[in-house]
Structure 1
Amino acid sequence: MSTFSRRAPKGILGFPVAPMDAEGKLDLHALGENIEFLIDNGLKSVFVACGAGELHAISNEEYRAMVEVAAEKTKGKVPLYTGVGGNITYALEQAQISKELGAEGYLILPPYLIDPSQDGIYNYLSKIIESTNLNAIVYQRDNCVLEPKTLQKLCEITQLVGYKDGLGDMELNVELTHLIGDRLEWINGMPLAEVTMASYVNLGFTSYSSAISNYIPHISAKYYDALLKGNDEVVHELYEEVIFPIHRIRKQKKGYAVSLIKAGMQIVGLPVTTNVRAPIAPVEEGHYEELKSIINNALAKYPTHAKAIN
């Protein structure tokens, strides 16, 4: 019987990418380096093969290989969660792979293509949640938007431990947190979540997924510590000098929520190419140079063991 905690991870959550080599093949060594970097820099958990990990574009064979690497690197250090979702058949296979390889739980991404009714969403999520005894976190985004009654019904399933919001409907979030309270762990999953975390904290969201933690994790940690301690001066400074400038680049093109992470990782010297799989497009050269300037300035002002690349 599993001995893991029936609670979702808290704090800043690590979402490694799916590194690709020059030929577009999965680079498992680079994935291992990515995960080790996140753990060494204090992230509280690892979520592998999720949105940043290009779940939409990898085969289940590649998925298994990624989870195997993640299980090896996280064992005895931090909780391991996986991404499952899309095609329901594949999602159930992914859930079983996650169970087999020792993950603590999984984040359920939206169903493939269909814009479902509330009972359809419930059936999709409940079938995945109940398919194993692992912890499950639902992801509110795109075509998976849960009305309060649907989430309340899902809360009757013991395995459900968390709710991640990537929609940004704050009125709905107020209602959900009011109705459900501490039954779930509330996770901010908006793109570049540092931009919005100040608003989410007031609703009881204590965790968030950090894209920039893949390359400047000490900035995420400094920001979140300042936010929780009410150090408005530091929060304002990091917004102005690092977070907002990166966010402005991210908004330039759809898919940058993934490809901009790889660019940042390459800039700080991690063994990751900027290759992504279609339909995501790689970062344009001009945007790459803008990001390099922001990162180098950040590393100069807020030093860490990562070195600015000339």
Structure 2
Amino acid sequence: MTESTASLRTALDGISGILVTPFDDADHIAPDRLGPVVDRAIEAGVHVLVANGNTSEFFGLTMAEAERMVHAAAEHVRGRVPLLGGVGRSVHDACALARASRKAGAAALMVHQLTDPFVAPSGVVTYVRRVADAADGLPVVLYLRDDAIGLPVIEALCRIPQVIGVKWASPTPLRLVQAMAQVADRGLAWVCGLAEPWAPPMYAVGARGFTSGLINVRPDLSVRIHAALAKGDHRLAMELIGGIAAFEELRTHERNGSNVSVVKAALQYAGRDCGAARPPSTWPLPDADLAQLKQLVDGWQ
């Protein structure tokens, strides 16, 4: 393992902040608006940033937009923390975006779980291998949202040489224990991929670090939660998570279609406008949700 890969592996035990994709009033990407969001996150102590993740509305971007945003994110990050570039969709799109992410200066790839209706478990392994090869040595982090592909396939994915970590985004901590045990020899990073509310149970079974969309709005709150978990102070962690519970609950509305919308509405209300959330996300927020969000943001300490 190279020094840079070892440093990334350590950083993955921290917060992986998933950056929004800013849009202007004409629904074009507005990369310059991302700068203040990146700066605040890094200054607060967020350990890793991710472009083209789900909070980035990856599946609502064109491939050209996704390529531009990973370059823009790298320009704003300026090497201060590791940057992961999300890749996905068709294998050719994913390989092209892997190459673009490497050229942009990303430290690693994050491979989205496939959304194709006809995904063969064995085909997932072939897909990730091809994407990893296209990145020409760049480390890979798996984004696993559906563990129904089976433990044998998960093990095969984890044994791809370029894989250094897994963002486990399935609410199945006991299944996570089994997956971790199968590849314990690899020393992978196992990250809670379900954000702050799920971090304590994932920590309890051995995962470390968590993903976060909250970092776009209040990165300091995420950092305080991580610090509490890192010290083993679960009482404090749960207290802090309780303080963001209503915010996270709002994001689950409309079958999770308000996930990014709540983040962007909070940014807008705080004077850091990153534009609307694109369809098929909710926008604008219903009046009742927006009123509750404003009350929450005003009450955060």
Q: Determine if the TM-score, normalized by the shorter chain, exceeds 0.5.
A: yes
Match of 2:87 among 60, 84, 87: 84
CA distance in 2, matches of 1:219, 1:147: 35
| Structure 1 residues 46 and 263: alpha-carbon distance in aligned structure 2, compared to 1, 3 A threshold | same
1:118 matched to 2:100? The reply is no
Partner of 1:4: 4
1:170 matched to 2:166? The reply is no
Match of 1:222 among 205, 221, 224: 224
Partner of 2:22: 19
| Structure 1 residues 115 and 243: alpha-carbon distance in aligned structure 2, compared to 1, 3 A threshold | farther
Match of 1:136 among 113, 136, 140: 140
1:67 matched to 2:52? The reply is no
CA distance in 1, matches of 2:205, 2:219: 24
Cα-to-partner distance string for 1:267-297 (whole Å, 9 max, x where unaligned): 2222322x11121122223212211111211
CA distance in 2, matches of 1:239, 1:83: 26
CA distance in 2, matches of 1:99, 1:229: 34
CA distance in 2, matches of 1:232, 1:165: 20
Query: Equivalent residue of 1:110, what SS?
Result: coil
1:156 matched to 2:154? The reply is no
CA distance in 1, matches of 2:232, 2:79: 33
| Structure 1 residues 65 and 175: alpha-carbon distance in aligned structure 2, compared to 1, 3 A threshold | same
Query: Equivalent residue of 2:84, what SS?
Result: strand
Moved more, 262-271 or 209-218: 262-271
Q: CA deviation at 1:246?
A: 1.4
CA distance in 2, matches of 1:115, 1:255: 23
Does the CA-based 8 Å contact 2:192-2:207 persist in structure 1?
Answer: yes
Q: CA deviation at 1:113?
A: 2.2
Gaps of 5+ in 2: none
CA distance in 1, matches of 2:3, 2:207: 26
| TM-score of the superposed pair, with normalisation by structure 2 | 0.90
Q: CA deviation at 1:153?
A: 2.1
Does the CA-based 8 Å contact 1:33-1:271 persist in structure 2?
Answer: no
Q: CA deviation at 1:43?
A: 0.7
Q: CA deviation at 1:251?
A: 2.1
CA distance in 2, matches of 1:77, 1:64: 20
Partner of 1:281: 282
Partner of 1:49: 52
CA RMSD of aligned residues (A): 2.0
1:37 matched to 2:40? The reply is yes
CA distance in 1, matches of 2:192, 2:3: 27
Partner of 1:248: 249
Q: CA deviation at 1:175?
A: 0.4
Moved more, 246-255 or 77-86: 246-255
Residue identity matched to 2:100: I
Residue identity matched to 1:220: S
CA distance in 1, matches of 2:118, 2:203: 30
CA distance in 2, matches of 1:183, 1:148: 17
| TM-score of the superposed pair, with normalisation by structure 1 | 0.88
Does the CA-based 8 Å contact 1:31-1:66 persist in structure 2?
Answer: no
Match of 1:95 among 94, 98, 104: 98
Residue identity matched to 1:138: L
Does the CA-based 8 Å contact 1:24-1:276 persist in structure 2?
Answer: no
Gaps of 5+ in 1: 303-310
Does the CA-based 8 Å contact 2:63-2:93 persist in structure 1?
Answer: yes
CA distance in 1, matches of 2:3, 2:133: 18
Match of 1:294 among 284, 287, 296: 296
CA distance in 1, matches of 2:15, 2:47: 6
Q: Write the mapping of 1:179-198 to structure 2, written as runs, cut at 5 A.
A: 179-181=182-184, 183-190=187-194, 193-198=195-200
Q: CA deviation at 1:3?
A: 6.8
Q: CA deviation at 1:232?
A: 4.5
CA distance in 2, matches of 1:112, 1:248: 24
Cα-to-partner distance string for 1:155-211 (whole Å, 9 max, x where unaligned): 332211111111212221110112222521011111xx2111110012221111111
Residue identity matched to 1:73: H
Cα-to-partner distance string for 1:60-119 (whole Å, 9 max, x where unaligned): 221222122111122231111111001221111100101112111111112242342221
Does the CA-based 8 Å contact 2:200-2:234 persist in structure 1?
Answer: no
